[in-house]
């Protein structure tokens, strides 16, 4: 019996299983088995007999797999919020070896230290080349930070598929398809200063070229200063001053928007004062370093010398803490 | 005022540098009684109020709590400074919250409503307010400030709020000692203050005090760092320590 053309086509499709299917191929078995690990391979045919292209996997992530001490929050200003102000979030990102299916962007964040916290489904945003997924973790609606401090987290990426519809190969970099990381401690003073860096209007001052040229006072706590240094022989450097409290010893911290060399002199007693200049945790835009020194009670004059730098203007939030 | 060796050294160096301008010889009113509101304070200054407003206006600093009727096991704590506590009170009644300061000192309770605030220590003794007044700052919901001198950092204070219209009030707590500003006497009104006469305060400064110092002659408005030096006389008009420039 001669088959009609339509019947012949249906028969051919049924036999070949693949030739007439416009849908993506069926997902292959889980990682660790051989069959179907090659995108475009025909399940049930000659899998394993031809060279297999590697499946899409993770190349890098921020935070890195297995990293520890991740700062758990980022403070940012949201002017579009019903109550504009500084809020908390944490942004994570994962980059893949090839383009991914852009309609699938859901991942699941689990706190493995406190398993009483329900895993959070989150939807990321794909980059234009579909190789990087950015996941913004907001603060939970019920309150609390986006990530708890000192906790082990896992970001499950196994719901993602590549551009041809195959699941992610979770073995390279991640091992199990989940991005594991541990958060560190939070620092209240840094976060408090971030609020001032993001919200306050800066007090603009010109630093004095010498200690005797009436350096401006930069000694009010919770204040965001924008200091401009005078030019000096191809670079910039200048002075401001701080006067200690009459009655209490204090720790003075400048939360800087960039690394600025700072030296401090107790001018009243004629002594140089040790300054600790360190990078800060990435808690917010606008603060990258901190410079810290001790100010002894007694209305003592402290000269702050900035530079030399290759920039004229920078900002800092000044905080004074009673010891 | 008790003079320590540090103060002595400071005073000596201050005196030696006074002629050059940049020196502070000490405060006019340096001796404050521990944990007491400074003498002469009649109103909180703009710096501490502005700081409190920053937190009152910042959505991220909002913390919602529900006060209880009297002190109970469920009475909420409002002890974190630099937060804006939105306190829900019992309907038409006074509500109770707990407060434990991180440091002893004078603590300002900034409020969004003109309500009564009473504070009791852990023994039930009423702590008298040291200061209270209306607050008015542009774009800020805070309308009242009440200051209490709190000495215990190891026990909770009971704070009764209200009642309030709408059964809700916002509270920001700030320690005065953390928001002090140094002001200098400007007796001649030339916008430069006397480095030797200053006051460090969170309160409104005395009349005639400003934040700019370096006036080397506070009795003559023609002498200050912004003045032009007149050559050929024996006066250092611009306070730079030189008679020739």
Q: Which of A87, A243, A268 sits opposite B60 (nearest CB)?
A: A87
Mutate to test the interface with B, among A268, A294, A296 (most CBs of B within 10 A): A268
Of the three residues B122, B155, B176, the one that is the final residue of a domain is: B176
Mean pLDDT within A259-284: 98
Q: How far is A239 from chain B (nearest CA, A)?
A: 12
Instruction: Determine, for residues B60 and A84 on separate chains, whether the beta-carbon distance falls below 8 Å.
Output: no
**pLDDT number for residue B59:** 79
Residue B21 placed within a domain:
no
Both B169 and B53 in one domain: the answer is yes
Mean pLDDT within A246-265: 97
Both B170 and B190 in one domain: the answer is no
Reported as a pLDDT band with limits 50, 70 and 90, residue B23 is: low
Residue B96 placed within a domain:
yes
Rounded distance, CA B83 to CA A180, Å?
33
Q: How far is B198 from chain A (nearest CA, A)?
A: 10
Phi-psi region of B70 (alpha: psi -120 to 50; beta: other; left: phi over 0): left
**pLDDT number for residue B45:** 97
* pLDDT tens per residue, range B152-165: 999 999 999 999 99
List the single residue in B with minimal CA-CA distance to A319.
B178
Of the three residues B126, B153, B176, the one that is the final residue of a domain is: B176
Phi-psi region of B194 (alpha: psi -120 to 50; beta: other; left: phi over 0): beta
* pLDDT tens per residue, range B177-202: 999 999 999 999 999 999 999 999 99
Residue B26 placed within a domain:
no
Phi-psi region of B32 (alpha: psi -120 to 50; beta: other; left: phi over 0): beta
Both B214 and B152 in one domain: the answer is no
Instruction: Determine, for residues B9 and A268 on separate chains, whether the beta-carbon distance falls below 8 Å.
Output: yes
Q: How far is A233 from chain B (nearest CA, A)?
A: 23
Unique residue bearing structure tokens 């297999």: A52
A322 touches chain B (CB under 8 A): yes
**pLDDT number for residue A51:** 53
CATH class name, domain A28-38+53-186: mainly beta
Both B50 and B171 in one domain: the answer is yes
A9 pLDDT higher than 90: no
Q: Containing domain of residue B163, as a range?
A: 46-176
Say whether A156 sits in a helix, a strand or coil.
strand
**A217-232 as b/e, with b when 16 or more CB fall inside 10 Å?**
bbbbbbbbbebebbee
Q: Which of A195, A245, A321 sits opposite B200 (nearest CB)?
A: A245
How many Cβ pairs closer than 8 A exist between chain A and B? 112
List the single residue in A with minimal CA-CA distance to B3.
A298
Burial class (CB in 10 A: 0-12, 13-18, 19+), B164: buried
Using a CB-CB cut-off of 8 Å, the residues of chain B touching A219 are: 182
Reported as a pLDDT band with limits 50, 70 and 90, residue B24 is: low
Q: How far is A221 from chain B (nearest CA, A)?
A: 6
Using a CB-CB cut-off of 8 Å, the residues of chain A touching B9 are: 268-269
Residue B5 placed within a domain:
no
**pLDDT number for residue B81:** 83
Of the three residues B147, B176, B205, the one that is the final residue of a domain is: B176
Rounded distance, CA A10 to CA A89, Å?
54
Mean pLDDT within A48-57: 70
B27 pLDDT higher than 90: no
Burial class (CB in 10 A: 0-12, 13-18, 19+), A90: buried
CA dihedral (A168, A174, A179, A183) in degrees, to 10, reads -170
For residue A17 the two structure tokens come to: 């299983």
Residue A93: partners with Cβ closer than 8 Å, 6 or more residues away: A61, A62, A132, A133, A134, A135
**pLDDT number for residue B144:** 98
Rounded distance, CA B41 to CA B183, Å?
14
Both B52 and B128 in one domain: the answer is yes
* pLDDT tens per residue, range A176-201: 999 999 999 999 999 999 999 999 99
Both B130 and B86 in one domain: the answer is yes
Q: Which of B21, B58, B177 sits opposite A195 (nearest CB)?
A: B58
Q: Which of B10, B58, B62 sits opposite A268 (nearest CB)?
A: B10
The overall average pLDDT reported for chain A is 87
**pLDDT number for residue A53:** 75
Selection from B38, B57, B53 nearest residue B174 by Cα: B53
Both B136 and B184 in one domain: the answer is no
Residue A92: φ, ψ to 5° = -115, 155
Instruction: Determine, for residues A219 and B182 on separate chains, whether the beta-carbon distance falls below 8 Å.
Output: yes
Domain locations along chain A: 28-38+53-186, 190-322
Least confident of A195-204, A216-225, B54-63, B101-110: B54-63
Mean pLDDT within B33-41: 78
Q: How far is A172 from chain B (nearest CA, A)?
A: 39
Both B69 and B168 in one domain: the answer is yes
List the single residue in A with minimal CA-CA distance to B26.
A299
Q: How far is A146 from chain B (nearest CA, A)?
A: 13
CA distances from B218 to B19, B196, B197, B213 (A): 13, 10, 10, 10
For residue B49 the two structure tokens come to: 């109020």
A296 touches chain B (CB under 8 A): yes
Both B118 and B186 in one domain: the answer is no
Both B185 and B172 in one domain: the answer is no
Instruction: Determine, for residues B214 and A214 on separate chains, whether the beta-carbon distance falls below 8 Å.
Output: yes
Residue B28 placed within a domain:
no
Residue B100 placed within a domain:
yes
Residue B50: CATH number of its domain:
2.60.120.380
Strand partners, B157: B99
CATH class name, domain A190-322: mainly beta
Both B172 and B184 in one domain: the answer is no
Q: Which of B27, B58, B239 sits opposite A299 (nearest CB)?
A: B27
Both B245 and B227 in one domain: the answer is yes
List the single residue in B with minimal CA-CA distance to A142.
B64
B229 pLDDT higher than 80: yes
List the single residue in A with minimal CA-CA distance to B58.
A85
* pLDDT tens per residue, range B121-175: 999 999 999 999 999 998 899 999 999 999 999 999 999 999 999 999 999 999 9
Rounded distance, CA A305 to CA B223, Å?
27
For residue A191 the two structure tokens come to: 């976060």
Using a CB-CB cut-off of 8 Å, the residues of chain B touching A213 are: 240
The structural domain count of chain B equals 2
Reported as a pLDDT band with limits 50, 70 and 90, residue A138 is: very high
pTM beyond cutoff 0.90: no
Residue B52 placed within a domain:
yes
């Amino acid at each position: 019996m001669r088959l009609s053309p339509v019947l012949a086509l249906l028969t051919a499709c049924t036999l070949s299983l693949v030739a007439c299917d416009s849908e993506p191929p069926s997902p292959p078995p889980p990682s660790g088995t051989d069959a179907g690990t090659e995108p475009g391979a025909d399940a049930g045919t000659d899998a394993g007999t031809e060279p297999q292209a590697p499946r899409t996997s993770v190349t890098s992530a921020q935070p890195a797999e297995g990293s520890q001490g991740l700062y758990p929050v980022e403070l940012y200003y949201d002017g579009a919020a019903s109550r504009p102000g500084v809020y908390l979030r944490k942004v994570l990102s994962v980059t893949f070896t090839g383009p991914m299916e852009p309609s699938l962007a859901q991942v699941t964040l689990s706190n493995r230290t406190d398993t009483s916290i329900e895993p959070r489904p989150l939807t990321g945003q794909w980059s234009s080349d579909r190789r990087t997924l950015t996941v913004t973790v907001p603060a939970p609606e019920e309150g609390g930070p986006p990530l708890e401090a000192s906790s082990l987290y896992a970001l499950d990426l196994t719901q993602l598929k590549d551009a041809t519809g195959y699941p992610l190969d979770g073995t390279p970099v991640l091992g199990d398809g989940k991005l594991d990381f541990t958060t560190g401690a939070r620092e209240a003073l840094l976060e408090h200063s971030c609020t001032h860096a993001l919200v306050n209007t800066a007090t603009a001052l010109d630093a004095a070229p010498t200690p005797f040229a009436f350096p401006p006072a930069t000694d009010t706590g919770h204040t965001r200063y924008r200091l401009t240094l005078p030019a000096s022989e191809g670079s910039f450097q200048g002075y401001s001053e701080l006067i200690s409290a009459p009655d209490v010893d204090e720790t003075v911290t400048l939360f800087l928007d960039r690394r600025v060399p700072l030296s401090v002199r107790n001018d009243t007693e004629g002594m140089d004062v040790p300054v600790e200049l360190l990078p800060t945790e990435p808690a917010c835009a606008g603060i990258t370093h901190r410079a810290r020194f001790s100010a002894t009670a007694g209305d003592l004059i402290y000269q702050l010398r900035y530079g030399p730098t290759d920039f004229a203007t920078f900002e800092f939030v000044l905080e004074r803490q009673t010891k | 005022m008790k003079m320590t060796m540090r103060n002595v050294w400071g005073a000596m160096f201050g005196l030696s540098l006074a002629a050059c301008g940049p020196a502070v010889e000490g405060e006019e009113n340096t001796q404050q009684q521990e944990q007491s509101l400074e003498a002469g304070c009649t109103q909180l200054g703009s710096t501490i109020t502005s700081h409190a407003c920053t937190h009152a206006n910042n959505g991220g600093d909002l913390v919602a709590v529900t006060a209880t009727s009297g002190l109970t096991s469920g009475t909420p704590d409002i002890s974190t400074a630099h937060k804006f506590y939105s306190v829900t009170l019992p309907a038409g009644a006074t509500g109770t919250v707990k407060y434990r300061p991180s440091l002893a000192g004078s603590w300002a309770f900034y409020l969004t409503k003109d309500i009564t605030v009473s504070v009791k220590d852990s023994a039930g003794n009423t702590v008298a307010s040291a200061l209270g007044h209306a607050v008015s700052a542009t774009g800020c919901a805070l309308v009242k400030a009440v200051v209490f001198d709190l000495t215990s950092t190891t026990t909770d204070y009971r704070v009764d709020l209200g009642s309030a219209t709408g059964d809700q009030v916002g509270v920001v707590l700030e320690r005065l000692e953390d928001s002090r500003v140094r002001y200098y006497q400007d007796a001649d009104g030339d916008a430069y203050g006397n480095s030797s006469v200053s006051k460090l305060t969170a309160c409104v400064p005395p009349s005639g005090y400003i934040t700019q110092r370096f006036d080397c002659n506070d009795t003559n408005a023609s002498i200050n760092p912004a003045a032009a030096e007149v050559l050929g006389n024996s006066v250092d008009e611009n306070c730079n320590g030189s008679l020739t420039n």
